[in-house]
Amino acid sequence: MKTRDLMELASRNLREAMLRNTLTTLGIAVGVASLVAMLSLGIGLQKLLMGKLESSGLFNRVYVAPRNARNDNGGRGGRGGRGDVPLAPQPGEIKYLTTAVRQQFAALPNVTAVYPELRLTADLRYDDKGHVTAAASVPPEARGTGIFDSITGAFFSATNAAEAILQKELSQQLADEGKIQPKDLIGQMVTIRYPQRKPVPLEPGQRPEDFVANGEFGYGFTIVPTEVKVRIIGIVEGAQAGPGGFGGAPIMLPLEFVEQMHTVQGVDVREVVASPGEQVYASLTIMLNSPNNVQAVEDKVKELGFTAFSLFDAAKSLQKVFKFIDLFLAIFGSLALAVASLGIVNTLVMAILERRHEIGVLKALGAADRDVRRLFFTEAGAMGFFGGALGVFFGWAIGRIINWGVSLYLTSQNISSEDVWFVPLWLVGFAILFSILVSLGAGLYPASRAAKLDPVKALRYE
Protein backbone atom coordinates (compact mmCIF):
# COMPACT_ATOMS: atom_id res chain seq x y z
CA MET A 1 0.00 0.00 0.00
CA LYS A 2 1.34 3.40 -0.98
CA THR A 3 1.98 5.97 1.68
CA ARG A 4 -0.40 8.45 0.06
CA ASP A 5 -3.22 5.89 0.01
CA LEU A 6 -2.43 4.98 3.60
CA MET A 7 -2.69 8.60 4.75
CA GLU A 8 -5.97 9.18 2.89
CA LEU A 9 -7.52 6.02 4.34
CA ALA A 10 -6.39 6.85 7.88
CA SER A 11 -7.70 10.41 7.54
CA ARG A 12 -11.10 9.14 6.34
CA ASN A 13 -11.36 6.66 9.22
CA LEU A 14 -10.54 9.40 11.77
CA ARG A 15 -13.21 11.69 10.32
CA GLU A 16 -15.90 9.00 10.35
CA ALA A 17 -15.63 8.55 14.12
CA MET A 18 -15.05 12.23 14.77
CA LEU A 19 -16.52 12.51 18.28
CA ARG A 20 -14.80 9.44 19.72
CA ASN A 21 -11.44 10.28 18.14
CA THR A 22 -11.72 13.90 19.26
CA LEU A 23 -12.37 12.87 22.86
CA THR A 24 -9.40 10.49 22.71
CA THR A 25 -7.21 13.25 21.29
CA LEU A 26 -8.35 15.62 24.07
CA GLY A 27 -7.40 12.98 26.63
CA ILE A 28 -3.93 12.87 25.15
CA ALA A 29 -3.83 16.69 25.17
CA VAL A 30 -4.70 16.80 28.87
CA GLY A 31 -1.91 14.34 29.64
CA VAL A 32 0.63 16.30 27.61
CA ALA A 33 -0.58 19.58 29.15
CA SER A 34 0.04 18.28 32.68
CA LEU A 35 3.48 17.07 31.64
CA VAL A 36 4.42 20.38 30.01
CA ALA A 37 2.99 22.48 32.85
CA MET A 38 4.90 20.60 35.55
CA LEU A 39 8.18 20.47 33.66
CA SER A 40 7.97 24.12 32.61
CA LEU A 41 7.42 25.11 36.24
CA GLY A 42 10.48 23.14 37.35
CA ILE A 43 12.58 24.55 34.49
CA GLY A 44 11.35 28.07 35.22
CA LEU A 45 12.26 27.86 38.90
CA GLN A 46 15.69 26.47 38.02
CA LYS A 47 16.23 29.21 35.44
CA LEU A 48 15.17 31.88 37.94
CA LEU A 49 17.44 30.62 40.71
CA MET A 50 20.47 30.00 38.49
CA GLY A 51 19.96 33.37 36.82
CA LYS A 52 19.95 35.13 40.19
CA LEU A 53 23.12 33.33 41.26
CA GLU A 54 24.90 33.95 37.96
CA SER A 55 23.96 37.64 37.95
CA SER A 56 25.45 37.99 41.42
CA GLY A 57 28.79 36.82 40.02
CA LEU A 58 29.09 33.98 42.52
CA PHE A 59 29.75 31.34 39.86
CA ASN A 60 32.62 33.11 38.15
CA ARG A 61 34.78 33.52 41.24
CA VAL A 62 37.54 31.50 42.82
CA TYR A 63 38.26 32.13 46.49
CA VAL A 64 41.90 31.75 47.50
CA ALA A 65 43.37 31.43 50.99
CA PRO A 66 46.92 30.76 52.26
CA ARG A 67 47.83 27.10 52.53
CA ASN A 68 48.78 26.04 56.03
CA ALA A 69 50.64 22.76 56.56
CA ARG A 70 48.46 22.16 59.61
CA ASN A 71 45.49 21.84 57.28
CA ASP A 72 47.16 18.82 55.67
CA ASN A 73 47.86 16.76 58.83
CA GLY A 74 44.52 16.75 60.58
CA GLY A 75 45.04 20.03 62.42
CA ARG A 76 47.97 18.78 64.52
CA GLY A 77 50.45 21.34 65.68
CA GLY A 78 54.03 21.32 64.49
CA ARG A 79 57.33 21.30 66.37
CA GLY A 80 56.31 18.89 69.07
CA GLY A 81 53.02 20.53 69.96
CA ARG A 82 50.01 18.62 71.20
CA GLY A 83 47.48 17.60 68.59
CA ASP A 84 44.75 19.79 70.13
CA VAL A 85 46.97 22.86 70.49
CA PRO A 86 48.11 24.27 67.14
CA LEU A 87 51.47 25.96 67.37
CA ALA A 88 52.99 28.65 65.19
CA PRO A 89 54.00 27.20 61.85
CA GLN A 90 57.60 26.75 60.94
CA PRO A 91 59.07 28.91 58.15
CA GLY A 92 57.71 27.72 54.83
CA GLU A 93 54.64 26.01 56.28
CA ILE A 94 52.35 28.79 55.04
CA LYS A 95 52.26 30.26 51.56
CA TYR A 96 51.18 33.83 52.07
CA LEU A 97 49.01 35.83 49.71
CA THR A 98 51.21 38.79 48.96
CA THR A 99 51.11 41.60 46.44
CA ALA A 100 53.33 39.60 44.09
CA VAL A 101 51.00 36.60 44.31
CA ARG A 102 48.02 38.83 43.58
CA GLN A 103 49.76 40.05 40.42
CA GLN A 104 50.56 36.46 39.47
CA PHE A 105 46.88 35.51 39.73
CA ALA A 106 45.86 38.55 37.70
CA ALA A 107 48.11 37.37 34.84
CA LEU A 108 46.31 34.00 34.54
CA PRO A 109 44.19 33.47 31.42
CA ASN A 110 40.51 34.50 31.57
CA VAL A 111 41.00 36.41 34.85
CA THR A 112 39.31 39.81 34.84
CA ALA A 113 40.14 40.97 38.37
CA VAL A 114 41.80 39.89 41.61
CA TYR A 115 40.78 41.73 44.72
CA PRO A 116 41.09 41.32 48.49
CA GLU A 117 38.38 41.78 51.05
CA LEU A 118 39.49 44.61 53.33
CA ARG A 119 37.56 45.35 56.52
CA LEU A 120 38.16 47.83 59.28
CA THR A 121 36.67 49.22 62.43
CA ALA A 122 35.49 52.77 61.72
CA ASP A 123 34.11 55.61 63.80
CA LEU A 124 31.76 57.55 61.56
CA ARG A 125 31.42 61.14 62.74
CA TYR A 126 28.24 62.90 61.71
CA ASP A 127 26.66 65.95 63.32
CA ASP A 128 29.32 65.85 66.07
CA LYS A 129 28.28 62.33 67.04
CA GLY A 130 30.32 59.18 66.69
CA HIS A 131 29.07 55.83 65.46
CA VAL A 132 31.54 52.98 65.89
CA THR A 133 30.78 50.40 63.23
CA ALA A 134 32.43 48.36 60.48
CA ALA A 135 33.51 49.37 57.00
CA ALA A 136 34.42 47.18 54.03
CA SER A 137 35.93 47.56 50.61
CA VAL A 138 33.89 47.12 47.43
CA PRO A 139 35.57 46.38 44.07
CA PRO A 140 34.28 48.05 40.91
CA GLU A 141 33.11 44.65 39.60
CA ALA A 142 30.30 44.74 42.19
CA ARG A 143 28.42 47.23 40.06
CA GLY A 144 27.29 44.72 37.45
CA THR A 145 26.21 41.94 39.80
CA GLY A 146 22.76 43.30 40.59
CA ILE A 147 23.49 43.81 44.29
CA PHE A 148 23.39 47.58 43.97
CA ASP A 149 20.54 47.75 41.43
CA SER A 150 18.12 49.06 44.08
CA ILE A 151 20.53 51.71 45.37
CA THR A 152 19.19 55.14 46.32
CA GLY A 153 21.75 57.52 44.90
CA ALA A 154 24.67 56.30 42.82
CA PHE A 155 27.54 53.82 42.73
CA PHE A 156 31.15 54.96 43.22
CA SER A 157 32.32 57.38 40.57
CA ALA A 158 35.89 55.99 40.68
CA THR A 159 37.80 53.19 42.38
CA ASN A 160 39.80 55.68 44.47
CA ALA A 161 37.03 58.21 45.11
CA ALA A 162 36.51 59.47 48.67
CA GLU A 163 32.92 58.27 48.65
CA ALA A 164 30.81 56.01 50.82
CA ILE A 165 27.65 53.94 50.43
CA LEU A 166 25.69 53.29 53.61
CA GLN A 167 23.41 50.44 54.44
CA LYS A 168 19.83 51.39 55.20
CA GLU A 169 19.99 50.67 58.93
CA LEU A 170 22.93 53.00 59.54
CA SER A 171 21.49 55.72 57.29
CA GLN A 172 18.18 55.52 59.16
CA GLN A 173 20.00 55.93 62.47
CA LEU A 174 21.89 58.97 61.22
CA ALA A 175 18.70 60.45 59.76
CA ASP A 176 16.76 59.98 62.99
CA GLU A 177 19.47 61.74 64.97
CA GLY A 178 19.55 64.62 62.48
CA LYS A 179 15.74 64.68 62.16
CA ILE A 180 15.93 64.33 58.39
CA GLN A 181 15.05 61.73 55.81
CA PRO A 182 17.71 59.10 54.90
CA LYS A 183 17.80 60.33 51.29
CA ASP A 184 18.82 63.77 52.58
CA LEU A 185 22.15 62.25 53.67
CA ILE A 186 23.19 61.77 50.04
CA GLY A 187 25.77 64.39 49.13
CA GLN A 188 26.77 65.21 52.71
CA MET A 189 30.35 64.91 53.99
CA VAL A 190 31.16 62.71 56.98
CA THR A 191 34.39 61.90 58.79
CA ILE A 192 35.65 58.36 59.29
CA ARG A 193 38.20 57.71 62.03
CA TYR A 194 40.13 54.46 61.77
CA PRO A 195 43.39 52.79 62.89
CA GLN A 196 46.10 53.32 60.29
CA ARG A 197 49.35 51.39 60.07
CA LYS A 198 52.59 53.22 59.47
CA PRO A 199 55.90 51.42 58.87
CA VAL A 200 58.79 51.94 61.26
CA PRO A 201 61.59 53.74 59.39
CA LEU A 202 64.66 51.61 58.67
CA GLU A 203 68.15 52.58 59.67
CA PRO A 204 70.43 53.67 56.83
CA GLY A 205 71.76 50.67 54.90
CA GLN A 206 69.16 48.24 56.31
CA ARG A 207 66.71 46.22 54.25
CA PRO A 208 63.47 44.63 55.46
CA GLU A 209 64.65 41.23 54.16
CA ASP A 210 67.74 41.32 56.38
CA PHE A 211 65.68 40.90 59.53
CA VAL A 212 63.96 37.71 58.43
CA ALA A 213 67.21 36.35 56.98
CA ASN A 214 68.84 36.77 60.38
CA GLY A 215 66.01 35.02 62.16
CA GLU A 216 64.63 38.26 63.62
CA PHE A 217 61.29 39.96 63.25
CA GLY A 218 60.62 42.39 60.44
CA TYR A 219 60.94 46.10 60.73
CA GLY A 220 57.35 46.39 62.00
CA PHE A 221 54.79 49.14 61.96
CA THR A 222 52.96 51.46 64.31
CA ILE A 223 49.21 52.03 64.65
CA VAL A 224 48.03 55.61 64.68
CA PRO A 225 44.50 57.05 64.75
CA THR A 226 43.69 58.70 61.45
CA GLU A 227 40.62 60.28 59.94
CA VAL A 228 39.44 60.84 56.41
CA LYS A 229 36.49 62.74 54.97
CA VAL A 230 34.16 61.01 52.53
CA ARG A 231 30.96 61.96 50.75
CA ILE A 232 27.83 59.83 51.09
CA ILE A 233 26.64 59.02 47.58
CA GLY A 234 24.22 56.12 48.05
CA ILE A 235 22.07 54.02 50.37
CA VAL A 236 21.30 50.32 49.86
CA GLU A 237 19.01 47.83 51.55
CA GLY A 238 21.90 45.45 52.12
CA ALA A 239 24.93 44.03 50.36
CA GLN A 240 26.53 40.67 49.96
CA ALA A 241 28.80 39.38 52.69
CA GLY A 242 30.83 36.21 53.15
CA PRO A 243 33.98 35.02 51.37
CA GLY A 244 34.71 37.25 48.45
CA GLY A 245 31.56 39.21 49.16
CA PHE A 246 30.92 42.76 48.12
CA GLY A 247 30.63 44.93 51.19
CA GLY A 248 28.41 43.32 53.78
CA ALA A 249 29.18 46.17 56.22
CA PRO A 250 27.26 49.30 57.28
CA ILE A 251 29.84 51.45 55.47
CA MET A 252 31.11 50.53 52.01
CA LEU A 253 34.09 52.24 50.41
CA PRO A 254 35.87 51.84 47.03
CA LEU A 255 38.55 49.14 47.11
CA GLU A 256 41.44 51.26 45.86
CA PHE A 257 40.52 54.05 48.27
CA VAL A 258 40.62 51.60 51.20
CA GLU A 259 44.00 50.28 50.04
CA GLN A 260 45.34 53.83 50.03
CA MET A 261 44.08 54.32 53.60
CA HIS A 262 46.58 51.66 54.84
CA THR A 263 44.12 50.33 57.39
CA VAL A 264 45.15 47.80 60.02
CA GLN A 265 44.22 44.26 59.01
CA GLY A 266 44.24 41.03 60.96
CA VAL A 267 47.08 39.62 58.85
CA ASP A 268 49.45 42.52 59.45
CA VAL A 269 51.40 40.52 62.04
CA ARG A 270 52.10 37.86 59.41
CA GLU A 271 53.50 40.54 57.17
CA VAL A 272 55.99 41.61 59.83
CA VAL A 273 57.09 38.06 60.52
CA ALA A 274 57.14 36.49 57.07
CA SER A 275 56.92 39.02 54.25
CA PRO A 276 58.47 42.36 55.19
CA GLY A 277 58.00 45.03 52.57
CA GLU A 278 54.97 43.34 50.99
CA GLN A 279 51.27 43.58 51.81
CA VAL A 280 49.76 40.30 52.96
CA TYR A 281 46.11 39.44 52.38
CA ALA A 282 43.95 37.10 54.43
CA SER A 283 42.19 36.00 51.24
CA LEU A 284 41.87 36.92 47.59
CA THR A 285 38.96 36.60 45.20
CA ILE A 286 39.70 35.86 41.54
CA MET A 287 37.00 37.00 39.14
CA LEU A 288 36.76 35.32 35.72
CA ASN A 289 35.05 36.21 32.48
CA SER A 290 32.95 33.04 32.45
CA PRO A 291 31.92 30.26 34.87
CA ASN A 292 33.22 27.78 32.28
CA ASN A 293 36.80 28.81 33.12
CA VAL A 294 36.46 28.49 36.89
CA GLN A 295 37.67 24.91 37.17
CA ALA A 296 40.86 25.49 35.16
CA VAL A 297 41.85 28.56 37.20
CA GLU A 298 40.99 26.80 40.46
CA ASP A 299 43.26 23.88 39.52
CA LYS A 300 46.06 26.28 38.57
CA VAL A 301 45.83 28.10 41.90
CA LYS A 302 46.08 24.78 43.74
CA GLU A 303 49.13 23.88 41.66
CA LEU A 304 50.76 27.09 42.87
CA GLY A 305 50.35 25.86 46.44
CA PHE A 306 47.30 27.75 47.69
CA THR A 307 43.91 26.70 48.97
CA ALA A 308 41.18 27.45 46.45
CA PHE A 309 37.49 26.75 46.23
CA SER A 310 34.49 27.99 44.28
CA LEU A 311 30.73 27.68 44.22
CA PHE A 312 30.89 25.96 40.85
CA ASP A 313 30.81 22.49 42.45
CA ALA A 314 27.89 23.56 44.60
CA ALA A 315 26.13 24.73 41.45
CA LYS A 316 26.64 21.32 39.87
CA SER A 317 25.08 19.69 42.92
CA LEU A 318 22.20 22.15 42.73
CA GLN A 319 21.65 21.29 39.08
CA LYS A 320 21.55 17.59 40.00
CA VAL A 321 18.86 18.32 42.57
CA PHE A 322 16.82 20.15 39.95
CA LYS A 323 17.24 17.24 37.54
CA PHE A 324 15.77 14.90 40.17
CA ILE A 325 12.91 17.35 40.75
CA ASP A 326 12.26 17.57 37.01
CA LEU A 327 12.30 13.78 36.82
CA PHE A 328 9.66 13.43 39.54
CA LEU A 329 7.55 16.17 37.95
CA ALA A 330 7.81 14.37 34.60
CA ILE A 331 6.73 11.08 36.20
CA PHE A 332 3.68 12.61 37.83
CA GLY A 333 2.87 14.58 34.69
CA SER A 334 3.10 11.41 32.60
CA LEU A 335 0.44 9.62 34.69
CA ALA A 336 -2.34 11.52 32.91
CA LEU A 337 -0.73 10.65 29.57
CA ALA A 338 -0.64 6.99 30.58
CA VAL A 339 -4.36 7.12 31.32
CA ALA A 340 -4.92 8.76 27.95
CA SER A 341 -3.07 5.90 26.25
CA LEU A 342 -5.75 3.53 27.55
CA GLY A 343 -8.25 5.68 25.68
CA ILE A 344 -6.27 5.13 22.49
CA VAL A 345 -6.37 1.38 23.01
CA ASN A 346 -10.10 1.49 23.62
CA THR A 347 -10.71 3.68 20.54
CA LEU A 348 -8.70 1.50 18.20
CA VAL A 349 -10.16 -1.76 19.55
CA MET A 350 -13.64 -0.37 18.97
CA ALA A 351 -12.53 0.61 15.46
CA ILE A 352 -11.51 -3.00 14.79
CA LEU A 353 -14.96 -4.27 15.76
CA GLU A 354 -16.66 -1.63 13.63
CA ARG A 355 -14.37 -2.08 10.61
CA ARG A 356 -13.91 -5.84 10.44
CA HIS A 357 -15.67 -5.98 7.09
CA GLU A 358 -13.45 -3.18 5.74
CA ILE A 359 -10.33 -4.95 6.97
CA GLY A 360 -11.51 -8.14 5.26
CA VAL A 361 -11.98 -6.28 1.98
CA LEU A 362 -8.49 -4.76 2.24
CA LYS A 363 -6.94 -8.17 2.80
CA ALA A 364 -8.96 -9.70 0.00
CA LEU A 365 -7.66 -7.02 -2.35
CA GLY A 366 -4.07 -7.95 -1.47
CA ALA A 367 -3.25 -5.83 1.59
CA ALA A 368 -0.64 -7.53 3.72
CA ASP A 369 -0.70 -7.80 7.50
CA ARG A 370 1.96 -5.08 7.78
CA ASP A 371 -0.26 -2.74 5.72
CA VAL A 372 -3.09 -3.18 8.21
CA ARG A 373 -0.70 -2.59 11.10
CA ARG A 374 0.64 0.54 9.40
CA LEU A 375 -2.92 1.82 8.97
CA PHE A 376 -3.71 1.54 12.66
CA PHE A 377 -0.29 2.89 13.62
CA THR A 378 -0.93 5.89 11.37
CA GLU A 379 -4.25 6.58 13.06
CA ALA A 380 -2.69 6.25 16.53
CA GLY A 381 0.26 8.45 15.55
CA ALA A 382 -2.07 11.11 14.15
CA MET A 383 -4.04 11.24 17.40
CA GLY A 384 -0.75 11.41 19.32
CA PHE A 385 0.58 14.25 17.18
CA PHE A 386 -2.53 16.41 17.33
CA GLY A 387 -3.05 15.61 21.00
CA GLY A 388 0.57 16.48 21.73
CA ALA A 389 0.41 19.79 19.85
CA LEU A 390 -2.84 20.72 21.58
CA GLY A 391 -1.40 19.63 24.94
CA VAL A 392 1.63 21.87 24.48
CA PHE A 393 -0.70 24.80 23.88
CA PHE A 394 -2.75 23.93 26.98
CA GLY A 395 0.44 23.54 29.04
CA TRP A 396 1.69 26.89 27.79
CA ALA A 397 -1.62 28.51 28.74
CA ILE A 398 -1.54 26.93 32.22
CA GLY A 399 2.00 28.21 32.70
CA ARG A 400 0.98 31.72 31.68
CA ILE A 401 -1.85 31.65 34.20
CA ILE A 402 0.51 30.42 36.95
CA ASN A 403 3.02 33.11 36.06
CA TRP A 404 0.32 35.78 36.08
CA GLY A 405 -0.95 34.63 39.48
CA VAL A 406 2.54 34.59 41.01
CA SER A 407 3.32 38.05 39.62
CA LEU A 408 0.04 39.39 40.95
CA TYR A 409 0.79 37.99 44.42
CA LEU A 410 4.37 39.31 44.48
CA THR A 411 3.20 42.73 43.39
CA SER A 412 0.63 42.79 46.19
CA GLN A 413 3.49 42.08 48.62
CA ASN A 414 5.57 44.95 47.20
CA ILE A 415 8.00 42.46 45.65
CA SER A 416 9.18 42.71 42.07
CA SER A 417 7.50 40.14 39.85
CA GLU A 418 9.49 37.17 38.60
CA ASP A 419 8.96 34.61 35.85
CA VAL A 420 8.63 31.21 37.54
CA TRP A 421 7.58 29.42 34.36
CA PHE A 422 9.51 28.77 31.17
CA VAL A 423 8.85 26.51 28.16
CA PRO A 424 12.01 25.93 26.13
CA LEU A 425 11.76 24.77 22.51
CA TRP A 426 13.26 21.40 23.35
CA LEU A 427 10.38 20.75 25.76
CA VAL A 428 7.86 21.48 22.98
CA GLY A 429 9.55 19.00 20.67
CA PHE A 430 9.99 16.44 23.43
CA ALA A 431 6.34 16.64 24.51
CA ILE A 432 5.01 16.11 20.98
CA LEU A 433 7.47 13.31 20.25
CA PHE A 434 6.71 11.62 23.58
CA SER A 435 2.98 11.87 22.86
CA ILE A 436 3.45 10.22 19.46
CA LEU A 437 5.58 7.43 20.94
CA VAL A 438 3.05 6.76 23.71
CA SER A 439 0.25 6.70 21.14
CA LEU A 440 2.16 4.27 18.92
CA GLY A 441 2.86 2.09 21.93
CA ALA A 442 -0.83 2.11 22.81
CA GLY A 443 -1.63 1.13 19.22
CA LEU A 444 0.57 -1.99 19.26
CA TYR A 445 -2.12 -4.34 20.52
CA PRO A 446 -5.00 -3.06 18.35
CA ALA A 447 -2.78 -3.02 15.24
CA SER A 448 -1.54 -6.54 15.88
CA ARG A 449 -5.07 -7.75 16.50
CA ALA A 450 -6.37 -6.13 13.30
CA ALA A 451 -3.52 -7.63 11.25
CA LYS A 452 -4.34 -11.14 12.47
CA LEU A 453 -7.99 -11.04 11.34
CA ASP A 454 -8.97 -13.85 8.97
CA PRO A 455 -10.21 -12.13 5.77
CA VAL A 456 -12.88 -14.83 5.18
CA LYS A 457 -14.36 -14.41 8.66
CA ALA A 458 -13.99 -10.64 8.40
CA LEU A 459 -15.98 -10.53 5.12
CA ARG A 460 -18.80 -12.62 6.64
CA TYR A 461 -18.94 -10.31 9.71
CA GLU A 462 -22.07 -8.15 9.91
Residue 75 lies inside a defined structural domain of this protein: no
Q: Considering 265, 290, 309, which residue would you say is the last residue of a domain?
A: 265
Q: What predicted TM-score, i.e. pTM, was given to this entire model? A: 0.55
Does residue 188 share a domain with residue 124? Answer: yes
Does residue 421 share a domain with residue 326? Answer: yes
Residue 86 lies inside a defined structural domain of this protein: no
The pLDDT score that the predictor gives to residue 217 is 47
| DSSP assigned state of 97 | E
Does residue 231 share a domain with residue 153? Answer: yes
Residue 295 lies inside a defined structural domain of this protein: no
Residue 346 lies inside a defined structural domain of this protein: yes
69 versus 454: the higher-pLDDT residue is 454
Is the pLDDT at 238 greater than 70? The verdict is no
What is the domain range of residue 425? 3-54+317-460
Is the pLDDT at 309 greater than 50? The verdict is yes
The pLDDT score that the predictor gives to residue 210 is 60
Span 134-161, average pLDDT:
84
Is the pLDDT at 117 greater than 50? The verdict is yes
The count of structural domains within the chain is 2
Q: Which of 306, 286, 282, 313 is nearest to 297 (CA)?
A: 286
Q: Which residues contact 29 (CB under 8 A, 6 or more apart)?
A: 387, 388, 390, 391, 394
202 versus 399: the higher-pLDDT residue is 399
Residue 321 lies inside a defined structural domain of this protein: yes
Does residue 254 share a domain with residue 175? Answer: yes
Instruction: Give strand pairing partners of 166.
Output: 235, 251
Does residue 349 share a domain with residue 224? Answer: no
Does residue 330 share a domain with residue 222? Answer: no
Does residue 208 share a domain with residue 144? Answer: yes
Residue 78 lies inside a defined structural domain of this protein: no
Q: Which residues contact 442 (CB under 8 A, 6 or more apart)?
A: 341, 342, 344, 345, 348, 380
CA 166 to chain centre: 28
Mean pLDDT is lowest, of 95-109, 272-286, 421-435, for: 272-286
Q: Which residues contact 24 (CB under 8 A, 6 or more apart)?
A: 340, 343, 344, 346, 347, 383, 387
Q: Each residue of 185-209: pLDDT tens digit?
A: 999 999 999 988 877 676 677 666 6
Calpha distance 84→67 (Å, rounded): 19
The pLDDT score that the predictor gives to residue 188 is 92
Is the pLDDT at 75 greater than 60? The verdict is no
Does residue 321 share a domain with residue 242? Answer: no
Q: Considering 265, 287, 308, which residue would you say is the last residue of a domain?
A: 265
Q: Each residue of 318-344: pLDDT tens digit?
A: 667 777 777 777 777 677 667 777 777
Q: Considering 245, 265, 285, which residue would you say is the last residue of a domain?
A: 265
Mean pLDDT is lowest, of 18-32, 298-312, 341-355, 433-447, for: 341-355
Is the pLDDT at 365 greater than 50? The verdict is yes
Does residue 348 share a domain with residue 216? Answer: no
Listed in sequence order, the DSSP H helices in 291-311 are 294-303
Does residue 329 share a domain with residue 252? Answer: no
Residue 174 lies inside a defined structural domain of this protein: yes
Residue 382 lies inside a defined structural domain of this protein: yes
Calpha distance 40→123 (Å, rounded): 51
Does residue 251 share a domain with residue 140? Answer: yes
Q: Are 138 and 255 in contact (CB under 8 A)?
A: yes
Query: For the chain, first and last CA: distance in Å?
Result: 26
| DSSP assigned state of 31 | H
The pLDDT score that the predictor gives to residue 70 is 46
